[in-house]
């Protein structure tokens, strides 16, 4: 390592130029990294919903339908009708749903309109609709919400605010006024390179893009602190700055590499998720931490040497944290503290199971606060099973929470008698009384051998009428131009509608639910549907955000157990290499896992569910990053026990580690808490809040319980070279 340190210091200017060039290139690549908004694309390849979605896209290539719900307050009946027409005139809007007097669209003083578009959420065309709503429909307290499940992009002011908070913490805790800016410059380079190199992945989700940069900053800042502190220690031994830096790089390599390895290993545990969003976040965050370590060794030594004189001139006092009394307390009450840890672990393990896990991406939805939000589920089935599915649909509409279940056979393909058809047509246009429709039935049966004379579908009727008026001008004249135009338009619309319901091999049953998108109620619905589809001859697939949540809920518990075990074992092995004894790694893994359980329990007691992604991230970050604090304290304790008794060793361990633990810990706790609160995306907010709470739990456990546990198991934790004589 000494040879590498020599190259890094002697070639620091050339290295810095190379890194800056790479940073510029990666900065230019960032806008070229695609942002994925469709969460269904992250489903595993063997997911039934993913397979069904791919099949549906093949069978129904023009079926895309995206909705924006718009709500107004204080409109009278005439204004509501006029507003529907105005909204229909917005560019890129294909249709508007509104029914006067219908409770689904009118509630108290509010009116809801549903805008349909074929353009995907966040596309330029869809953004035109939203910008038009903001610019031209601000009256009557207009509010709108789309049904996009992807996260929102990170506003610039939020990113700057997070960096400002981080800088303030560093200014308070660092030994020089300019140190924070050296650290930020170094890790900032790593962040830019990480974001730019995401181009190798093609695209990343909005959620990953939004949280990756800030999490990389807060997780990697302690590497800069470790190297700088080591440089100060070496400068106390010599006046040769370059020699001191070489020694610092060589000396800090072990600490930084072992610390970063646990973080990277913890984050890479996410790659074992079947839901590919976890895989993506694990890879991006692990790559970011690795690049941060690389930049700390490539960039920071040169920056420190270039500003060494300024660092000396800008020295300042740092907060002094008295821990002598705490060390004495932990030594004296080591057995009760160990008992507290054991009880706390068991209690948290039991209680954390009461916290509900959520799988949907939470979004701010002001419209849903007034009008119950409906969710759409598509049952894709093979055409040969149409009769069975239609029968199931008839049963389904009687189930709790099902508003409608429509396919071709029970709508446009439904068979009507002449009297029934006349009633249907009466709601569409004038001029089709029962006797006239009956005559058409008879005429069709006579002119088309094999055609039934008693029943016909709406599609069959309109197709027959279109053939008549297009094939004979006299019949068109007899029908009248107005009716002829109505027939042509209706036939065209129905032909398009049929293409949305029936494909070459598969058909769609569109189910409208008045149920939450996740939870026991909707899970019971899906189980009932699956039971009803058991006797189908062909395959069927459930598609929709609620279906995706249901599918994920069926496999997540097993995945969580697998990831927890893999993370714990991997971290245990890494820490085992550091301590060469199994007892300290076991204690540290149990301690941090206890922090995970407490975090989940605390969130449950607050009345919240915990987002599955937040749970996995906090699990991996606490295991990978927070355990470093335990390693740091334990290292100091073992080293001190070679020369002094337990109480003094604890005191020295606190003195050597508490400043680093609190500096790095406060960055994670405060920045994630405030960043999440200000971001405006509820899903990001919950992820950040969970990380913040988890970091607080881990820090408290490490500072207040770990010392007592180490002292209690002193014979096993202090190492073979511990001081034999006890006070």
pLDDT at 308: 86
318, 338, 373 — which closes off a domain?
318
Residue 675 in any domain: the answer is no
Q: Is the pLDDT of residue 576 over 70?
A: yes
3-state secondary structure 627-669: HHHHHHHHHHHHHHHCCCCHHHHHHHHHHHHHHHHHHHHHHHH
Based on the fold, state whether residues 130 and 226 are members of the same structural domain. Answer: no
Which of the listed ranges 381-390, 547-556, 565-574, 690-699 does the model predict with the highest average pLDDT? Answer: 381-390
Residue 133 in any domain: the answer is yes
Q: Is the pLDDT of residue 697 over 60?
A: yes
Mean pLDDT, residues 408-437 taken together: 84
Which of the listed ranges 152-161, 333-342, 366-375 does the model predict with the highest average pLDDT? Answer: 333-342
Mean pLDDT, residues 407-429 taken together: 86
Percent of the chain with pLDDT over 90: 30
Q: What is the pLDDT of residues 584-608, one digit of tens each?
A: 889 988 998 898 899 999 988 888 7
Based on the fold, state whether residues 302 and 221 are members of the same structural domain. Answer: yes
Return the minimum-mean-pLDDT range out of 2-16, 73-87, 201-215.
201-215
Mean pLDDT, residues 373-382 taken together: 90
Q: Is the pLDDT of residue 303 over 60?
A: yes
Based on the fold, state whether residues 69 and 178 are members of the same structural domain. Answer: no
Based on the fold, state whether residues 206 and 306 are members of the same structural domain. Answer: yes
460, 484, 501 — which closes off a domain?
501
Residue 709 in any domain: the answer is no
pLDDT at 725: 47
Domain CATH code at residue 218? 1.20.1640.10
pLDDT at 149: 57
Domain CATH code at residue 100? 3.30.70
Based on the fold, state whether residues 201 and 299 are members of the same structural domain. Answer: yes
> CA dist 102 to 77, 88, 107, 110, 116, Å?
12, 19, 9, 12, 19
Q: Is the pLDDT of residue 322 over 60?
A: yes
Q: Is the pLDDT of residue 727 over 60?
A: no
Residue 710 in any domain: the answer is no
Residue 683 in any domain: the answer is no
pLDDT at 720: 57
The more confident residue out of 159 and 261 is: 261
Return the minimum-mean-pLDDT range out of 266-275, 304-313, 390-399, 425-434.
425-434
Residue indicated by tokens 């809007």: 93
The more confident residue out of 523 and 679 is: 523
303, 318, 333 — which closes off a domain?
318
Confidence bin at 660 (pLDDT 50/70/90): confident
Chain-centre distance of CA 138, in angstroms?
31
pLDDT at 638: 85
Residues 442 and 451 sit within 8 Å (Cβ to Cβ): no
Indicate if the alpha-carbon torsion angle 647, 648, 653, 654 is positive or negative. Answer: positive
What is the SS3 assignment for 150?
coil
Q: Is the pLDDT of residue 380 over 50?
A: yes
Based on the fold, state whether residues 111 and 244 are members of the same structural domain. Answer: no
In angstroms, rounded to a whole number, what is the distance separating the alpha carbons of residues 173 and 152? Answer: 33
Based on the fold, state whether residues 119 and 243 are members of the same structural domain. Answer: no
Q: Is the pLDDT of residue 316 over 90?
A: no
Mean pLDDT, residues 499-520 taken together: 90
In angstroms, rounded to a whole number, what is the distance separating the alpha carbons of residues 39 and 42? Answer: 6
pLDDT at 158: 67
Mean pLDDT, residues 282-293 taken together: 93
Show the domain range for 138.
Answer: 65-146
The more confident residue out of 392 and 482 is: 392
Q: What is the pLDDT of residues 251-282, one digit of tens each?
A: 888 778 877 888 888 888 888 888 788 888 88
Mean pLDDT, residues 124-134 taken together: 90
pLDDT at 724: 52
Q: Is the pLDDT of residue 155 over 70?
A: no
Indicate if the alpha-carbon torsion angle 174, 179, 180, 186 is positive or negative. Answer: negative
Mean pLDDT, residues 438-459 taken together: 82
Q: What is the pLDDT of residues 43-53, one digit of tens each?
A: 788 888 889 98
What is the SS3 assignment for 34?
strand
Based on the fold, state whether residues 99 and 11 are members of the same structural domain. Answer: no
Based on the fold, state whether residues 299 and 182 are members of the same structural domain. Answer: yes
The whole-chain average pLDDT of the chain stands at: 86
In angstroms, rounded to a whole number, what is the distance separating the alpha carbons of residues 261 and 272? Answer: 18
Residue 5 in any domain: the answer is yes
Based on the fold, state whether residues 296 and 210 are members of the same structural domain. Answer: yes
3-state secondary structure 553-582: HHHHHHHHHHHHHHHHHHHHHHHHHHHCCC
Q: Is the pLDDT of residue 454 over 50?
A: yes
Q: Is the pLDDT of residue 37 over 80?
A: no
Residues 43 and 275 sit within 8 Å (Cβ to Cβ): yes
Tokens in use for 698? 């881990």
Based on the structure, what is the number of domains in the chain? Answer: 3
pLDDT at 423: 87
Based on the fold, state whether residues 25 and 85 are members of the same structural domain. Answer: no
Residue 523 in any domain: the answer is no
Mean pLDDT, residues 620-638 taken together: 82
The more confident residue out of 512 and 366 is: 512
The more confident residue out of 350 and 474 is: 350
pLDDT at 151: 52
pLDDT at 184: 92
Mean pLDDT, residues 246-250 taken together: 89
Residue 261 in any domain: the answer is yes
pLDDT at 271: 85
Residues 540 and 382 sit within 8 Å (Cβ to Cβ): yes
Q: Is the pLDDT of residue 150 over 60?
A: no
Based on the fold, state whether residues 311 and 205 are members of the same structural domain. Answer: yes
């Amino acid at each position: 390592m000494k040879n590498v340190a020599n190259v890094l210091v002697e070639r620091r200017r050339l290295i810095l130029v190379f890194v800056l060039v790479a940073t510029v290139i990666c900065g230019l690549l960032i806008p070229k990294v695609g942002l994925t908004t469709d969460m269904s694309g992250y489903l595993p390849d063997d997911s039934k919903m993913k397979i069904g979605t791919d099949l549906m896209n093949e069978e129904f290539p023009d079926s895309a339908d995206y909705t924006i719900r718009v709500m107004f307050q204080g409109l009278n009946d005439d204004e509501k009708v006029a507003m529907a027409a105005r909204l229909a005139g917005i560019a890129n809007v294909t249709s508007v749903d509104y029914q006067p007097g219908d409770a689904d669209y009118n509630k108290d003083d509010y009116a809801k309109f549903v805008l349909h578009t074929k353009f995907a959420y966040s596309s330029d065309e869809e953004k035109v609709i939203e910008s038009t709503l903001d610019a031209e429909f601000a009256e009557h307290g207009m509010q709108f919400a789309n049904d996009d499940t992807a996260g929102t992009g990170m506003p610039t002011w939020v990113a700057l605010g997070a960096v400002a908070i981080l800088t303030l913490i560093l200014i308070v805790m660092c030994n020089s006024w300019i140190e924070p800016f050296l650290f930020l410059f170094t890790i900032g380079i790593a962040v830019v390179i990480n974001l730019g190199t995401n181009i190798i992945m093609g695209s990343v989700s909005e959620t990953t893009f939004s949280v990756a940069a800030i999490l990389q900053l807060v997780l990697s800042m302690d590497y800069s602190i470790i190297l700088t502190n080591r440089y100060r220690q070496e400068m106390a031994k010599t006046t040769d700055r370059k020699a001191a830096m070489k020694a610092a790089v060589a000396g800090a390599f072990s600490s930084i590499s072992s610390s970063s390895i646990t973080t990277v290993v913890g984050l890479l545990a996410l790659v074992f998720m079947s839901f590919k969003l976890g895989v993506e976040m694990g890879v991006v965050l692990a790559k970011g931490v690795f690049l941060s370590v690389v930049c700390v060794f490539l960039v920071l030594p040169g920056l420190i040497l270039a500003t060494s004189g300024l660092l000396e001139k800008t020295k300042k006092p740092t907060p002094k944290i008295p821990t002598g009394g705490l060390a004495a307390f932990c030594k004296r009450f080591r057995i009760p503290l160990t008992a507290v840890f054991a009880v706390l672990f068991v209690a948290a393990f039991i209680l954390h199971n009461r916290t509900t896990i959520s799988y949907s991406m939470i979004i701010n939805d002001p419209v849903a606060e007034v009008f119950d939000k409906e969710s759409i589920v598509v049952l894709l089935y093979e055409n040969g099973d149409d009769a069975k599915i239609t029968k199931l649909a008839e049963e389904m509409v009687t189930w709790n929470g099902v508003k409608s279940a429509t396919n071709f056979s029970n709508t446009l393909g439904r068979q009507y008698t002449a009297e029934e058809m006349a009633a249907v047509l009466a709601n569409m246009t004038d001029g089709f009384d029962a006797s006239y429709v009956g005559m058409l039935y008879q005429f069709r049966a006579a002119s088309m051998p094999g055609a039934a004379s008693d029943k016909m579908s709406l599609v069959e009727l309109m197709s027959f009428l279109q053939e008549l008026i297009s094939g004979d001008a006299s019949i068109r004249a007899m029908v009248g131009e107005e009716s002829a135009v109505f027939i042509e338009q209706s036939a065209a619309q129905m032909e398009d509608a049929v293409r949305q319901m029936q494909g070459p091999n598969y058909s769609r049953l569109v189910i409208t639910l008045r149920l939450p998108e996740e939870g026991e109620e909707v899970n019971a619905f899906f189980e009932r549907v699956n039971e009803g589809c058991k006797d189908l001859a062909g395959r069927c697939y459930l598609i929709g955000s609620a279906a995706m949540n249901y599918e994920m809920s069926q496999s997540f518990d097993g995945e969580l157990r697998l990831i927890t075990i893999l993370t714990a074992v991997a971290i245990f092995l890494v820490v085992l290499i550091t301590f060469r004894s199994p007892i300290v790694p076991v204690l540290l893994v149990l301690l941090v896992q206890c922090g995970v359980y407490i975090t989940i329990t605390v969130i449950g007691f607050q009345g919240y569910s915990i987002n599955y992604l937040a749970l996995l991230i906090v699990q991996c970050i606490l295991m990978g990053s927070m355990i470093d604090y335990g390693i740091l304290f334990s290292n100091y304790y073992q080293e001190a026990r070679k020369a002094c008794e337990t109480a003094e060793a604890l005191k020295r361990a606190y003195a050597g580690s508490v400043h680093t633990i609190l500096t790095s810990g406060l960055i994670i706790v405060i920045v994630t808490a405030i960043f999440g609160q200000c971001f405006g995306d509820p899903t990001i907010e919950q992820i950040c809040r969970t990380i913040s709470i988890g970091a607080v739990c881990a820090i408290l456990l490490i500072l207040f319980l770990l010392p007592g546990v180490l002292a209690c198991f002193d014979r096993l934790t202090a190492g073979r070279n511990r001081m034999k004589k006890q006070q």
